[in-house]
């Protein structure tokens, strides 16, 4: 199996304003040392079994050169940078990235590792172990998400209720809760924070999105076919891409499929920094 990292670099940079802003969101800042959060996202993947030296990043037009420069600075010289002309959330972005990832390899042999670029992960070894466990689940045809074991009643995360049957199955996804609900979830012990990290076999992702999000698939196919490539940039055409629903992968697919799986992970992840 080939593991292809897909890095999501969108984000408006409002939560850490004025340090982070629309022109320089937090994923492009050096907040925890010399490397930026984007660079740390890629560096922590080193050592994952099956990881290919093919990096796919998604960004908007105003950040494309910033992404290219930051990747080059850590030795990623030939990435595929998919440039979105407008923001349409993660569902269509991930689907189009799956098309790019499978241009030169079989979809059934391709594992997509979907990574937000603004996470702080303190225990890199445990993180890699969790990713490899998720990859093993994805090989079986599961749509896998990493769930973070909560240590406080945080209202800033969505939650995942895992099945109480000893499997990795998902009972349901839950929106960001009230304080009282978050306390209830913590006491229950079956709820995990939704990290936004996903692991999919490319063919399973494409098949299931065709079932649950056909409009996104149709527009994604047309967008990819009409895109233009120059250097490392894959430019999506505005008039096609803008028609896509503005929908996350959670809403479009994960909340509908019967094939979702969650792998608990221990490292502290802070997507809402």
13: pLDDT confidence band, cut at 50, 70 and 90? very low
First to last CA, the chain: 33
Q: Where are the domains of the chain?
A: 2-145+196-261
Tell me the pLDDT band of 18, cut-offs 50, 70 and 90. very low
What span, in angstroms and rounded, lies between the C-alpha atoms of 46 and 97? Answer: 21
pTM of the model: 0.92
Question: Mind listing the pLDDT tens digit for each residue in 221-247?
Answer: 999 999 999 999 999 999 999 999 999
Measured in degrees and rounded to the nearest 5, phi and psi for residue 39 equal: -65, -40
- 26-73 pLDDT, tens digit each: 888 867 778 999 999 999 999 999 999 999 999 999 999 999 999 999
Please tell me the predicted confidence (pLDDT) of residue 271.
52
Confidence tier at 198 by pLDDT (50, 70, 90): very high
Give the separation between CA 90 and CA 99, rounded to whole angstroms. Answer: 14
Give SS3 for 167. Answer: coil
Q: Which two tokens stand for residue 246?
A: 């503005």
Tokens of 114: 């979907």
Q: What kind of architecture, by CATH, is found in domain 2-145+196-261?
A: Alpha-Beta Complex (3.90)
């Amino acid at each position: 199996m080939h593991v292809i990292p897909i890095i999501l670099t969108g984000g408006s940079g409002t939560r850490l304003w004025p340090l982070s802003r629309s022109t320089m969101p937090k994923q492009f800042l050096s907040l925890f040392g010399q490397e930026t959060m984007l660079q740390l996202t890629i560096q922590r993947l080193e050592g994952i079994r099956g990881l290919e030296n093919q990096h796919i990043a998604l960004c908007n037009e105003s950040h494309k050169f910033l992404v290219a420069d930051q990747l080059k600075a850590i030795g990623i010289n030939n990435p595929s940078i998919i440039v979105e002309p407008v923001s349409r959330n993660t569902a269509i972005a991930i689907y189009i990235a799956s098309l790019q990832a499978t241009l030169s390899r079989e979809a059934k042999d391709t594992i997509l590792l979907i990574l937000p670029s603004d996470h702080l992960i303190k225990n890199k070894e445990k993180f890699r172990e969790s990713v490899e466990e998720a990859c093993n689940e994805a090989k079986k045809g599961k749509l896998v998400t990493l769930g973070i074991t909560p240590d406080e009643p945080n209202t800033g995360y969505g939650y995942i209720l895992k099945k109480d049957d000893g499997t990795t199955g998902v009972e349901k996804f839950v929106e960001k809760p009230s304080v009282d609900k978050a306390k209830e979830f913590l006491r229950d012990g079956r709820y995990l924070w939704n990290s936004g990290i996903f692991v999919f076999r490319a063919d399973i992702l494409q098949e299931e999105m065709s079932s649950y999000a056909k409009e996104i698939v149709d527009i994604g196919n047309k967008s990819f076919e009409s895109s233009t490539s120059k250097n490392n940039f894959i430019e999506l055409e505005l008039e096609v891409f803008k028609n896509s629903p503005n929908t996350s992968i959670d809403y479009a697919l994960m909340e509908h499929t019967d094939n979702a799986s969650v792998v608990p992970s221990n490292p502290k992840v802070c997507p809402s920094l």
